[in-house]
Structure 1
């Protein structure tokens, strides 16, 4: 079921024109990291920069949460690592020719964060407020054009689905149904909260333009209508993955070894690369829609400022 987020829609092209942008600056986790690439191929920012002829400045890092002060994870967080790395780079990018993106939250709400209660007292309100605060912090550093990407429906991934089996990321006992329900609640609530918070923040940032990219709705549609997005040579698959590895409960890989990855053009038939990460084909779709957002012709992004 697609969850609708009601936004006052402004024509994107009226706010920004693709031709004026020359730089794309990205923050986030493995969904956006261009070095430790989560999709097993080429990350979406590389495709987006190529499609739109932009210079890419990537700061996203695999495994990241928004802040280790909120969700302690042993990876470079947005607030304490990625933003300082951006400052240290001293890029001096022209504000009106640069767009900044953030895609964070998967690890914050996941098995290393809120889902398993590793941080008692921390809620999805805290992790979402941190993500929204990225806009305010980057605004103070001179950014003016933002694209905020919300959390995908993680309950549709192999790791968090109600039918999940033990696998490489998590092969000890769990209640799969409970995980799926909790993930549905946290991603839906977090996205609704982020939209409300961004609406409240936007009027306080003079000259800022903030777009809300509905990754949740896009991936829900890819899951429900794969033929619109997937184009590989194998049967279309939105429940399995290219590089999945089933495990025995509390044991090792079934049969003693992980099965070989799907190869060649068959990979483009899959929505997921592994138990948690989108496939390269899914990332091409994200890149295409991000560029379309800058052109003002995608239903997956709307301006809230």
Structure 2
């Protein structure tokens, strides 16, 4: 009996080792993570353009390795940084415009994202940041640099096997549609949602034409529950703006449907919709379950309206423990919240791609 048990335990051990080796090999099949989008994934590109939408000063980055304000709009790392690390790649994704990185470093991961941008080109113009179309042009340039550095065959393999992440759309509503007149005069809410989803599909198709095959497209968070939205909610100050969050729900639903069509259309590609909305909603509904204390204010300044340069002006008011806050400023999540979102992607979305 004992010998049978011993043999059984030995078999389980062999199976476990095989499973772990298989998992490691699967993760190792991803040579790079390539990122497009807005401030949720901007690793510092805005540092190198003329815009006020920057995060390369304290209190941003205070919990990043070395306490460096890299230009990330948070106290530490972003979702894409955590995903990169989980894939066995570097623990932070470089910004493309940061010339301190070599092409060999960028070959393992690169972010073209720009804080303040949107799917709508007007959103980028309003904030004087890098539109999605220009991010895709930088991607073309990056591919050519890869070919020179690595050779065409290796470059093609990196591009084909890389993980692509799109995280964009929030600013089209919170900067553009809800607060500026031009788009509201031209589109109903439903029409604007359809317009943005069309732009999202066009961006994925453009990346596909350049070689992208494994794509994650993140949906919107409950944007009506951002601290800034609560502050500006005149009907119920301090409460979530449910109308804005419902627009995010409509956008997400339309995006998920469009992604299903893209999967039918793009031969050899897999595009996955990543549900950010329900992850953040679960945190906001039961913050103590996740170790959070404050869900209504950002950590920086008064936490009511400050973001970007306004955080620097009121740095002396910034909270002591960002881990207890869902949001670091009035718009952007804290590193701890980003890690929760990243864990969902790692444990759910990646399994659909790898």
TM-score grouping bracket, smaller chain normalisation? 0.7 to 0.9
- Give the deviation of 1:176 after TM superposition: 5.7
Structure 2: segments with no counterpart, 5+ residues: 1-21, 45-70, 90-107, 147-154
Provide the residue aligned with 1:59 in structure 2: 112
1:193 to 254, 267, 275: 254
2:84 to 49, 59, 62: 49
How many residues are paired up? Answer: 262
Superposition map of 1:69-84 within 5 A: 72-73=125-126, 74-79=128-133, 81-84=134-137
- Give the deviation of 1:56 after TM superposition: 1.9
Determine the C-alpha separation between the residues in 1 that align with 2:28 and 2:163. 12
1:106 to 153, 156, 170: 170
2:269 equivalent to 1:269? no
Determine the C-alpha separation between the residues in 1 that align with 2:217 and 2:36. 10
Q: Larger radius of gyration, structure 1 or 2?
A: 2
Structure 2 length-normalised TM: 0.66
The answer to whether the 8 A contact 1:160-1:176 is kept is: no
2:178 to 115, 119, 127: 115
2:191 equivalent to 1:130? no
Provide the residue aligned with 2:35 in structure 1: 26
1:157 to 217, 222, 226: 226
The answer to whether the 8 A contact 1:29-1:103 is kept is: yes
- Give the deviation of 1:220 after TM superposition: 0.6
Classify 1:229/1:199 alpha carbon distance in 2 versus 1 (closer, same or farther; 3 Å). same
Classify 1:247/1:42 alpha carbon distance in 2 versus 1 (closer, same or farther; 3 Å). closer
The answer to whether the 8 A contact 1:152-1:219 is kept is: yes
Aligned to 1:159, the other structure's residue is in SS state helix
- Give the deviation of 1:165 after TM superposition: 5.7
* 1:152-179 Cα distance to aligned partner (Å, 9 max, x none): 0011111113xx269xxxxxxx556799
* 1:54-96 Cα distance to aligned partner (Å, 9 max, x none): 22211111111123157743211112x1111111112335244
Determine the C-alpha separation between the residues in 2 that align with 1:259 and 1:295. 40
- Bigger helix share: 2
Determine the C-alpha separation between the residues in 2 that align with 1:202 and 1:71. 28
The answer to whether the 8 A contact 1:148-1:213 is kept is: yes
Provide the residue aligned with 1:85 in structure 2: 138
Classify 1:175/1:88 alpha carbon distance in 2 versus 1 (closer, same or farther; 3 Å). farther
Classify 1:223/1:20 alpha carbon distance in 2 versus 1 (closer, same or farther; 3 Å). same
2:72 to 31, 34, 37: 37
Superposition map of 1:172-191 within 5 A: 180-191=241-252
- Give the deviation of 1:121 after TM superposition: 1.2
RMSD: 3.0
1:242 to 292, 299, 304: 299
| Higher RCO (CA < 8 A, seq sep 6+) | 1
Classify 1:210/1:136 alpha carbon distance in 2 versus 1 (closer, same or farther; 3 Å). same
